[in-house]
Structure 1
Amino acid sequence: MIRRFDAARRAVLLAVLALAASGPALAQEGPDALVKRVSEEVMQVIKSDPRVQAGDTARIREVVETKLLPNFDFSRMTALAMGRNWRKATPEQQKRLVEEFRSLLVRTYSGSLSQYRNQTIEYKPLRADAAATDVTVRTEVVRPGQAPVQIDYSMAKGADGWKAYDVIVGGVSLVTNYRDEFNEQIRQGGIDQLIASLVARNKGGAAK
């Protein structure tokens, strides 16, 4: 269930935002180099943008909406989160699911952006062949006074460069975590009920 993931939510935010500032010009950049460079850029924004530090929701959402979306494969993430049920959904249902799941993730992780000022990130050597098109980039977030958090990025290379399709925090996959919840909701009321639930959460308060 989603609540099992709450303890790692803030760590996931760093993972999500680590790719938030990259763009098409970086399509040829290696996945590990991309993660390292952009992580440092985003951390600098967090430390220097007074509106972000003050928790300005509009500014935070603007940053996430404009810089995050091009760097994550939300269609693949949604399909993986749906599991076998993805094939049961109609094209229109699939479109709605991608839109609402994307909105849910943006809402969820926008809420904690202003809290990151004193984190450091350690980058592990990339274990992948030079010609690989699907890799895992491993990092560790070091938090003052707390245990470090292992964060892995599942990334795939397509025509428009590297994109993330899953984030694994402390061994817990974001996609798998949502899959558990989605499967339960579909079991209870079908795909349309899942869509309705996502719509309601995105229209309501802070996402859970």
Structure 2
Amino acid sequence: MNRRSLGRVALCIAASAAFSLPLSALAADEAPDALIKRLSADVLNTVKSDKAIQAGDLSKVIALVDKTVMPNVNFRRMTAAAVGPGWRQATPEQQKRLQEEFKILLVRTYAGALAQVNDQTIQVKPLRAAAEDKDVLVRTEIVGRGDPIQLDYRLEKTPGDGAGWKIYNLNVLGVWLVETYRGQFAQEINAKGIEGLIDTLAARNKTNAGTAKG
């Protein structure tokens, strides 16, 4: 993915990275498109009013993600899909470390883009799904400066006490986030194994942390 495309992805993910209500506070029967519409509006309002986030305060971004984003994402499924077949070969401890390093990678990669969110709004397109569907695609566009940016969400309906919709993939301008990382991770796994992938992610995160401090 080239730098221009990554920048667009960063902007879009940043625009979805401040969901303001935990899943437990959401109605289990809330439609997925209504959920995305409401959360998107909350996101933009939060970013526009928080000067620290706009300035790229990484600690605030991480705290925000942990508190508000992660409850709305099936991150285990997202990480497993990005790792691919190697996920089943990983030990429970390796799976935990993969999730931790992958989350840090995403947060650090896209934190800076939060500063770019100012005049944008998000338009949610009509949902094409039946009432009984448990896996849906919610299509949106970010509009403001420049051409509209396609941002689509894959969500699944979760049962049980935490019933509701959870995001497990994002599509920006026709490129799915999970599939993009799967190709990169597969190369690392083929060359160095699961432990090698974890080491590579940890090293990249350490480098990114040093860059942010500088």
TM-score, with normalisation over the residues of structure 1? Answer: 0.90
Counterparts in 2 of 1:45-194, with a 5 A limit? 45-144=46-145, 146-159=146-159, 160=162, 161-194=164-197
Q: How many residues align?
A: 205
Q: For the residues of structure 2 that align with 1:4 and 1:115, how far apart are their CA atoms?
A: 14
Letter of the structure 1 residue corresponding to residue 152 of structure 2:
D
The TM-score with structure 2 as length reference comes to: 0.87
Gap regions ≥5 residues in structure 1: none
Contact 2:17 2:43 in 1 (8 A): yes
Residues in 1 aligned to 2:69 and 2:121: alpha-carbon distance in whole angstroms: 20
* 1:8 maps to 2:8: yes
Distance 1:114 1:80 in 2: 29
* Partner of residue 201 from structure 1, selected from 201, 204, 208: 204
Structure 1's consecutive aligned runs of 4 or more residues displaced over 6 angstroms after TM superposition are none
* Superposed counterparts of 1:29-40, under 5 Å: 29-40=30-41
Percent identity among equivalent residues? 49
| Preserved CA contact (<8 Å) 2:15 2:117 | no
